[in-house]
Amino acid sequence: MGAHAATLFWLGFDFKMAAIDSAISNVVILLASLIVSNTLRYYQPGRGKYFYIVTWCALLAILAVFLTRLLLLKLYPQDAVYEGVINKSLIIRCCVSFLLISGMGLISMLWYTQQEQKENERRKTDAERLARDAELYNLRQQLQPHFLFNSLNSISALIGRRPDEARTMIYQLSDFLRGTLRKEENEFVTLEEELQHLQLYLDIEKVRFGHRLKTEIRKEEGCSELILPAMLLQPLVENAIKFGLYDTTGEVTITIDAKCLQNYLRLIIKNPYDTNTVRPNSGTGFGLGSIKRRLYLLFARTDLLDTNGENDIFTTTVKIPQL
């Protein structure tokens, strides 16, 4: 705008006339630029269609110049010298207007394209998050019928022979399921909360298996407030019970160790197993498969769960990153 006015002033026109010419020209160009920008907000040309935008900018530039000429000649109708300067500068004015309008169009197109890409990425991220949450919810929901089926079978078997134990197991199952419903609201819980919930599960299993099931839970000091996904331990311990007790009639001890590492909570579950009936590295069981998938969905890592079988002891190790 200053260069425009300075050029007219240099050509011999007074400052007021130069300023008015510059102001009107730039306001009209600005309006044309806003039209282009607003158009590109709702219409993004595909490949091979940029010619239409260039043509649109050129037409607006020509229209802006002639509209400016009309307004200026209305203000100075008797100035033949000024009219001559305007007519001689039409091509230059059109070129400058085209550059300014098309420049605004280019900036607008880049801006709106970038915004659209960000919006697409946001929608994609939201869709992936919803899909992940749905899968996590589905994995957690599958644990309930799986465990509930076993518990109800045990209660059914106890009702006729040991009704008092069946009644106790029903109360324990009720407490466990009530705690499970509360945990549905939280994706992560503290280790202390998880162990309390696990103890309810173990109390139920001890009614099922009696003296055959022994458990040892060891926790390092300072680990109680570390976090882990809710209901992570229960399917792991259920898997240990399944492969530790189902093929034997003797007493079995399952150990659960919680250790604090730098930026990790490490959980180690050990159970004896029969090498003749169980393959130690097969990863058999819904519990291990669901936990591995769940850890991947939460932390995008595949190295957080490890299993190993040595000397008739099956060991499951889980590392939980501390966020």
For the chain (length 323 residues), average pLDDT per consecutive 10?
Answer: 51 61 78 84 70 82 83 74 72 84 86 85 75 64 64 79 82 79 72 89 83 90 89 86 77 92 91 70 58 85 89 90 83
The CATH class for the domain spanning 162-321 reads alpha beta
- % of residues, the chain, pLDDT over 90: 11
- Distance CA(277)–CA(247), nearest Å, equals 8
Q: Is 42 exposed, middle or buried (0-12, 13-18, 19+ CB in 10 A)?
A: exposed
Q: Determine the pLDDT at residue 283.
A: 44
Give the residue carrying structure tokens 């197991």. 169
| Domain map (residue ranges) of the chain | 2-122, 162-321
What are the distances in angstroms from CA 2 to CA 15, 16, 69, 109?
11, 13, 19, 27
Q: Which residues pair with 189 in a beta bridge?
A: 228
pLDDT tens readout for residues 18-60:
677 777 777 888 888 888 888 888 777 766 667 777 887 888 8
- Distance CA(116)–CA(98), nearest Å, equals 26
Q: Are strands 227-229 and 252-261 parallel, antiparallel or unpaired?
A: unpaired
Q: Assign residue 271 a region: left if phi > 0, alpha if psi is -120 to 50, beta otherwise?
A: beta
Q: Determine the pLDDT at residue 305.
A: 93
pLDDT tens readout for residues 261-290:
888 999 999 998 877 765 544 444 456 877
Q: Determine the pLDDT at residue 259.
A: 92
Q: Which run of H or E residues covers position 217?
A: strand 213-219
Tell me the H-state helices in the chain. 2-10, 15-42, 50-75, 80-88, 90-161, 163-183, 191-209, 233-245, 286-299
Q: What is the pTM of this model?
A: 0.58
